[in-house]
Structure 1
Amino acid sequence: MLITVEDLVAELMARAAKTSRLIVAIAGAPGAGKSTVSAALCQAINTRDPGAAIVVPMDGFHLDNAILDAMNLRKRKGSPPTFDCAGFEVLLRRLRDIGNDVVIPLFDRKLDLARAGADIVRAGQRILLVEGNYLLLDQSPWDRLASLFDVTVFLDVDRLELENRLVQRWLAFGHNVGSAQQRALANDLPNAELVLEESRPADFTIRN
């Protein structure tokens, strides 16, 4: 079902009113705008109900570069095997328990590493906006996450626009045009195509 961000805010708040905690998956290809949309949703919800929502990024479960080097996967960083999916699953199951605060990791793009203990999901926060590339991926082990989400959202972006955004992302990190295009084509776009082709249908779709 196509929906706007504004209408999704109302939908999520209505659903959250009927349960103690609502866990929302916000998925999409690299460059689809997951972080931006999640932040906008969180701000809009907290404007109406202060402190109710928080963003929980999947990116906190990136494997460290030293591990990726040992696995010869550094060039594929951001692909499914370069995440600790099992650890992420454990976190989602912990977040089902509303009785306790839960410490979560976050990914620091400037440092290019995950920081443990970087944020806290408080017991009173009722709407958790979980965002990441592979939340709806219909492949093992990612398909084990399906039952842990109450609502699923997919961000739909034109492939050419995705490519432009991904190249611009690397340019912003100081790469020249050739290097930025190479990085996007060699890793980011294959990851994007995997998400687009192998993700389960979502409850709601946002054209971003």
Structure 2
Amino acid sequence: MNDNEQQVLQLRPEAALALLIERVQHMLTTYEGRIAIGLAGGPGVGKSTLAVKLVEALNATTPDLAAYVPMDGFHMRHSKLESLGTVKDKGAPHTFEGAAFAEFLAGVKAATLQVSGPGYSREIEDVVIDAFIVPAGARVLVVEGNYLLLANAPWWQVRPLLDLAVFIDLPRDTVKARLLARHAQHGLFTAERNRQHVERVDLANYDLVKRSRGRADIAIDLVTER
């Protein structure tokens, strides 16, 4: 769908969900085999919540039709970041196994048997093995992550694997408030550490990801209360 002009919409989250359900259902009638729907955007914009709700809605009508495939499971392990001296950058593109994620996604698209994949736990701030399952009969992969649309290596390998790429966006101030609340939720770090991380890493990632917005088929500016 890359040759189409980008569609830009302002929608409330429930309307965005309805739109995506409709698009996926249409694609299922026109595509053969497994399709990948990519939800990209900066940290804190609500893309993971939207992705999970999309999977739930699709599976409510046809069990195991869709599976959630998060990019976050391809964070470098915390021990590896410690050995590299890059713990302070955690969440930036270079702290992910980007090539491994692209290889995994390509494999899942082609798979005919059940596949499991890694996730990321904010409670322990580390990778969790076998966090999700893609059933053998699943036709829709709802892929979610910050860096799905980046054009630099190794991330450029991801975009061609997405049959529909959707960029989810929110105003920067709203994102900052959400991220501060997220980091404080589990009480693992001090408020000052969280503030510094949001300012130095998360918002820098938000700005970086924003520049990949033009590579999406659909750009959705979410309209929220906060």
- TM above 0.5: yes
Q: Deviations over 1:138-171 (max 9, x none)?
A: 2121112121110101101111111111111122
In structure 2, which of residues 18, 21, 24 is the aligned counterpart of residue 9 of structure 1? 21
- In the TM superposition, residue 94 of structure 1 has moved relative to its aligned partner by 0.7
The letter for the 2-side match of 1:73 is T
Asked if 1:188 is matched to 2:195, the reply is: no
Aligned counterpart, 2:3: none
The separation in 2 between residues aligned to 1:49 and 1:206, in whole angstroms, is 26
Aligned counterpart, 2:116: 103
The separation in 1 between residues aligned to 2:190 and 2:80, in whole angstroms, is 27
The separation in 2 between residues aligned to 1:20 and 1:91, in whole angstroms, is 17
Q: Deviations over 1:163-186 (max 9, x none)?
A: 111111122132554333222102
Q: Deviations over 1:109-153 (max 9, x none)?
A: 212111222322112011100000000012121112121110101
Name the SS for the 2:136 alignment partner: coil
- Per the normalisation by structure 2, the TM-score is 0.87
Using the TM superposition, name which of 177-186 and 163-172 deviates more.
Answer: 177-186
Name the SS for the 2:68 alignment partner: strand
- Per the normalisation by structure 1, the TM-score is 0.94
Name the SS for the 1:119 alignment partner: strand
Name the SS for the 1:205 alignment partner: strand
Q: List alignment gaps of at least 5 residues for structure 2.
A: 1-6
Matches within 5 A, 1:152-191: 152-174=165-187, 175-191=189-205
Asked if 1:21 is matched to 2:63, the reply is: no
In structure 2, which of residues 58, 67, 70 is the aligned counterpart of residue 45 of structure 1? 58
Aligned length: 208
Cα RMSD of the aligned pairs, angstroms, is 1.5
Name the SS for the 2:167 alignment partner: strand
Q: Deviations over 1:30-70 (max 9, x none)?
A: 10111101011111111222221111000111111111111
Change (3 A) 1:177 1:117: closer
Aligned counterpart, 2:4: none
Q: Deviations over 1:61-85 (max 9, x none)?
A: 1111111111111000010111111
Structure 1 runs (4+) deviating above 3 angstroms are: 175-179
In structure 1, which of residues 50, 60, 63 is the aligned counterpart of residue 73 of structure 2? 60
The letter for the 1-side match of 2:174 is E
8 Å CA contact 1:134, 1:199 repeated in 2: no
8 Å CA contact 1:106, 1:115 repeated in 2: yes
